[in-house]
Amino acid sequence: MPLFSNPCALTRLLDPDRALRDKIPEFVLKGDFGLASGQKSDGTYDRVWYGEQISPDEVAFEAGVFLLTKARAKTLKGGAKPIPETVITGGIQPEPEEVRKPEREPEPGPGVQTRTLHLVGTVPPEIWNRLGTKIIPKLKSGEDLRIGVDFSVAVSVELARTLESDLRQILEDLNLQGKIKIEQS
């Protein structure tokens, strides 16, 4: 009797996302697949993992993160220009990000043992939640971590008063009412 003729013979994964997050790093390390993020217009990526150890936390099921075939990952890791591929996304193209590069800090002197990193730019809405689960834990490994916010939204005059009241209540609930100001322009 074939395996699939008996549905009870199939194992159901309780958390398929977790199972994939655990297996994909294994496949990348063995060189069966590659993982990439930050696709550029020339077909390359900001970051490509292939044949190297990665944390399951680096695996994300979202726009902008891609599982690559072995051949494509090898090509990209080797530095060769890739052959353009058709990429199927969820139909939503991310908005171009405007990124300011911070001014270069002077090289540390002989007695200085730390360097401050600044992350500056815009974050697309589809990855706001992941910012808290990916970047902040990495930054907590350092010292003197400070995080600021800069939100802006355009709303009708009629909605502005209600939204401001709701935001003040949320800031109070989070005990942030003297730390974050609401300004109108």
Is the per-residue pLDDT at 89 higher than 70? no
In angstroms, the CA 74 to CA 2 distance is 37
The whole-number pLDDT of residue 175 equals: 85
Residue 28 and residue 34 in contact, taking contact as beta carbons nearer than 8 Å: yes
User: pTM of the full predicted structure?
Assistant: 0.40
Closest CA to 37 of 66, 77, 60: 66
Sequence-ordered list of residues with C-beta below 8 angstroms from that of 22, at least 6 positions apart, any chain: 56
More confident residue, 68 or 63: 68
CB atoms within 10 A of CB 152: 6
Q: What is residue 28's three-state secondary structure?
A: helix
pLDDT score of 124 more than 70: yes
Q: How far apart are CA 32 and CA 51, in angstroms?
A: 8
CA pair distance 24, 56, nearest whole angstrom: 8
Spell out the residues 6+ positions from residue 50 whose beta carbon is closer than 8 angstroms to its own.
28, 31, 33, 34, 35, 68, 73, 74, 76, 77
Residue 32: per-residue pLDDT: 92
What is the predicted pLDDT for the residue at 109?
A: 58
**Within the chain, where are the H helices?**
16-30, 70-77, 128-130, 136-139, 157-173
Q: Which residue do the tokens 């800031």 mark?
A: 171
Q: What mean pLDDT is predicted for residues 160-177?
A: 87
d(CA 37, CA 48): 7
Query: Would you say 35 and 49 are in contact if contact means Cβ atoms under 8 Å apart?
Result: yes
pLDDT above 90 coverage of the chain, percent: 4
Lowest mean pLDDT among 56-70, 90-104, 131-145: 90-104
- CA–centroid distance for 87 within its chain: 19
